[in-house]
Structure 1
Amino acid sequence: MCENRRSMFRLAYLPVLIFIAVTAKAQLVSGPMLGPVELRTAKLWIEVVPGSSADFWYWKKGELATAKRVIKETSVDQWFGPLQFDAVDLEPNTTYEYRFRINNTGNIKPMKSDGTFTTKELWQWRKPAPDFAFLTGSCAYINEPPVDRPGKPYGGDSSIFETMAKEKAAFMFWMGDNWYTREVDYYDAWGLWNRASDNRAAPVMQKFWKSTSHYAMWDDHDYGPNDIGVNYILKNISREVFMNYWLNPSYGFNDKGIYTTISYGDVDIFIMDDRWWRSADNMKDSVNGKPNPDKQMWGKQQIDWLKNSLLYSKATFKIIANGSQVLNPASPFDKLLNCPVEYYDVMGFLEDNKIPGVLFMSGDRHHSEVIKVNRASAYPLYDITISPLTAGTHTFSGPEKNNPYRVIGIDEKQNYGKLSFTGEKGKRKLTVEFFGVKGEKLGEWSVNESDLKYNR
């Protein structure tokens, strides 16, 4: 009789548990997304329905009893509910488990994890730099037919993100146009927030968000309207949205721009902001036969930061990442070379100070390629462009059809890149692999540490 009563109680209680679970799930909009994982800290992100609260629990793998808890709440008056969490006081080279609970009014501890992350190894002064790889790409267009341009959808096969979620990589670096604002988004703050939230919530991307750490820079389409720069009247709102939907280490200085540095192993990536200070593209490059000092892409504040960062860096590979291409003399489209005062200032600085290990990375172009520009008294400079993830592709044509500066090129295909850093100290190697939607290899290019040094 007692056993029957217990069974009846369980059956009566089961719908309540199901209701709680379904309700909590309904309050989760997207995520979790993993951000930077350092030696003793990690950042994670989720978005919930405004008015919800979220618990973040984390613990050393296999030691659930020691779980730490962080609670955050959102206001019902908010338009959107992105939340960022910090896991702190961690141990290097250790795997941790974590779980989120939404509206956990009963203070129920988790019984299992949502995912895991592993802190960096403290290798400095102890052993050679570790081999590692990261993923990268740009131009991620998720279709929304009611507000998209008529005709053939601009967004391609989004299953590329499911393929990328299966890759083993230290992190993913998003190189701009990470979502595409449309006409319904450009002119008001709600539209900018909504575009970021809608893109982040795409079901096809959810596994990818927690499969590895994510960093990002922006270009025009996730900053505002196509090709816009310093004159965008909502750029402060765009920066606020960007800071709420990504987990970069920092976002410029003096509340300007989103430039920062990613350091991993013996690689530094200097993330440039090519929009905040950018002059209109149709401003003249020269005036009276002289370079126009008013035409800029990066701005003095950011260039001063870049110069000091390059001088300070001891990294084997120093990657300067920018939304627009930097080199590519054959391109008829926007590039740093179109801002000649800034371009020659930076190039002169690199040569005057004999900065080794410098490469450029970019997105934007809806094709992938490696551009090589020789220098008379220094090692060649390379610009690695990787695009698009899902946005429309195009065919090499015009002055770029047989670009003499192109080392390798991939057009008419969605693709992502994987950059691997391998080898013993003094003989490090960077290998760039290009992959298609289903993970098929489309091309490969590599450069050795020794190829990026000055002859002293």
Structure 2
Amino acid sequence: MLKNVLILIALIVAGCAQTQKTAQQGEATKDAVYVSMIPSRGIDYETAITTIAFGSCANQDQPEPLWKDISAANPDLFLFLGDNIYASTPTQKPIAEQYRKLDQIPEYRAIREQVPFLATWDDHDYGLRDGGKDWQGKEAARRDFINYWSYVRNSIPFEQNGIYHAKVIGPKKKAVQVIMLDTRYFRSALLEKPGNEGKAYDYLPNEEGTILGDAQWNWLEEQLKKPASVRIIVSSIQMIANEPKYEKWGNFPKERQRFFDLLKKTKAKNVVILSGDRHIASIAKTQVKNYGDLYEITASSINRANSFSDSDKEYIGAVYNKENFGLASIDWKKKKMQVEIRGFNNEVANRIDIPLR
């Protein structure tokens, strides 16, 4: 009897110690802060830009050699389209530690010192795979994002939720507006197919839900009314491609149509959409009634290549599923934008010329 009592006491003491340890770890996760110390380049807002690189899906626990090729393309600006780190599993917490790991990658450090960056997030740097507005960790993720991408703190009003923001770069007749959407913080729940609960990627249309939320929609309309020669809209998830079963604007068909209607309402010209997320690269084009052609370039991933293959009636050319990035080159004299999907050694996998009005 005495032996059993002693064993029980030992188990209780061990359990209390483990509970205390877990609580301490929770506090460490809660309070973890990381501010990048890389002497990153700022943006010269008065000078016209001609070359913009972009990409997504970079796992900080793996090498990221593609940054050398991106740097060799000599871009004026790099746009990080989301999944800039992977912090959506218990072993990838706290999020702040994952940003610290990213900064230790030599090729990434080198390009940050040479090229200005703008960034938004997707689900993995948001902290929950396929996460939306109900994610309990979203405020902590927002804090970590703003601590790391410190320019965002000065780019949004103090009272604003989410991380959406915009920049206008260049003189009046060569102004490039970059709009970084937040497709996570306000997004309604994805609707799983009956019998498919717990299986990722395949969803029913949510006819009443939102992606951007009312405040961000109002903000976007005001942004599209501002003067600009070229408008680049960054959406972490695909907008035009509507057939793949993965996360996309097509999961919220009214939101997708609302975006097209907003382009018509504001008469915004020379809009190009950039997206990531998919671990494939693609170029898509659709005809928006009473507006005209709309292009979307998906660039993914920096170091998370997969064997995914896609088809969509809006795709131009085949998808590319090796490591890749996008490169947009603006020819102001000829009034066109050439956009390429590039892989290692700057090999061009796909290309499109987009006329500018």
Question: Does TM, scored on the shorter chain, surpass 0.5?
Answer: yes
Which residue of the partner structure matches residue 140 of structure 2?
237
* 1:171 partner letter: L
Say which of 329, 333, 355 aligns to 2:268: 355
- The separation in 2 between residues aligned to 1:407 and 1:357, in whole angstroms, is 19
Which residue of the partner structure matches residue 39 of structure 1?
none
1:133 corresponds to 2:57: no
Residues 131, 423 of structure 1: 8 Å contact kept: no
Which residue of the partner structure matches residue 37 of structure 1?
none
Structure 1: where are the runs of 5+ without partners? 1-77, 85-99, 101-113, 124-129, 144-154, 285-289, 451-456
Q: Kindly tell me: are residues 440 and 252 of structure 1, through their superposed partners in 2, closer, same or farther at Cα, counting changes over 3 Å?
A: farther
Shift of residue 264, structure 1, vs aligned partner: 1.8
1:32-431 to structure 2, matched below 5 A, reads 79-82=32-35, 120=44, 122=46, 130=48, 132-143=50-61, 155=62, 158-185=64-91, 191-246=94-149, 247-248=151-152, 249-251=154-156, 254-265=159-170, 266-282=175-191, 292-293=207-208, 295-311=209-225, 313-397=226-310, 400=311, 403-424=312-333, 427-431=334-338
- The separation in 2 between residues aligned to 1:440 and 1:214, in whole angstroms, is 23
Deviations 1:162-187 (A, max 9, x none): 2223332211110000001142256x
Higher strand residue share: 1
Deviations 1:214-250 (A, max 9, x none): 1110000001121011111111110110011113352
- The separation in 2 between residues aligned to 1:118 and 1:299, in whole angstroms, is 30
| RMSD of equivalent CA atoms | 2.6
Shift of residue 316, structure 1, vs aligned partner: 1.6
Residues 321, 361 of structure 1: 8 Å contact kept: yes
Shift of residue 346, structure 1, vs aligned partner: 2.4
**Between the two proteins, what is the percent identity of the paired residues?**
24
- The separation in 2 between residues aligned to 1:310 and 1:165, in whole angstroms, is 31
* 1:301 partner letter: A
- The separation in 1 between residues aligned to 2:178 and 2:161, in whole angstroms, is 19
- The separation in 2 between residues aligned to 1:173 and 1:264, in whole angstroms, is 13
Q: Kindly tell me: are residues 251 and 139 of structure 1, through their superposed partners in 2, closer, same or farther at Cα, counting changes over 3 Å?
A: farther
Which residue of the partner structure matches residue 434 of structure 1?
341
- The separation in 2 between residues aligned to 1:350 and 1:119, in whole angstroms, is 27
Between structure 1 and structure 2, the one with the greater Rg is 1
- The separation in 1 between residues aligned to 2:45 and 2:82, in whole angstroms, is 29
- Residue range with higher mean Cα deviation, 403-412 or 216-225: 403-412
1:445 corresponds to 2:352: yes
Shift of residue 355, structure 1, vs aligned partner: 2.4
Residues 240, 284 of structure 2: 8 Å contact kept: yes
Structure 2: where are the runs of 5+ without partners? 1-30, 194-204
Shift of residue 408, structure 1, vs aligned partner: 3.1
- The separation in 1 between residues aligned to 2:253 and 2:351, in whole angstroms, is 31
Higher helix residue share: 2
Shift of residue 391, structure 1, vs aligned partner: 1.0
Q: Kindly tell me: are residues 374 and 442 of structure 1, through their superposed partners in 2, closer, same or farther at Cα, counting changes over 3 Å?
A: same
Residues 369, 410 of structure 1: 8 Å contact kept: yes
- The separation in 2 between residues aligned to 1:359 and 1:365, in whole angstroms, is 18
- The separation in 2 between residues aligned to 1:275 and 1:252, in whole angstroms, is 18
Q: Kindly tell me: are residues 332 and 168 of structure 1, through their superposed partners in 2, closer, same or farther at Cα, counting changes over 3 Å?
A: same
- The separation in 2 between residues aligned to 1:250 and 1:121, in whole angstroms, is 14
Residues 267, 316 of structure 1: 8 Å contact kept: yes
Deviations 1:417-441 (A, max 9, x none): 11111122xx521111222123222
Deviations 1:99-137 (A, max 9, x none): x9xxxxxxxxxxxxx89x6873746xxxxxx35111110
- Greater relative contact order: 1 or 2 (C-alpha under 8 angstroms, separation 6 or more)? 2
Residues 286, 314 of structure 2: 8 Å contact kept: yes
* 2:75 partner letter: A
Q: Kindly tell me: are residues 443 and 346 of structure 1, through their superposed partners in 2, closer, same or farther at Cα, counting changes over 3 Å?
A: closer
- The separation in 2 between residues aligned to 1:291 and 1:191, in whole angstroms, is 32
Shift of residue 270, structure 1, vs aligned partner: 0.9
- The separation in 2 between residues aligned to 1:241 and 1:118, in whole angstroms, is 20
Residues 78, 116 of structure 2: 8 Å contact kept: yes
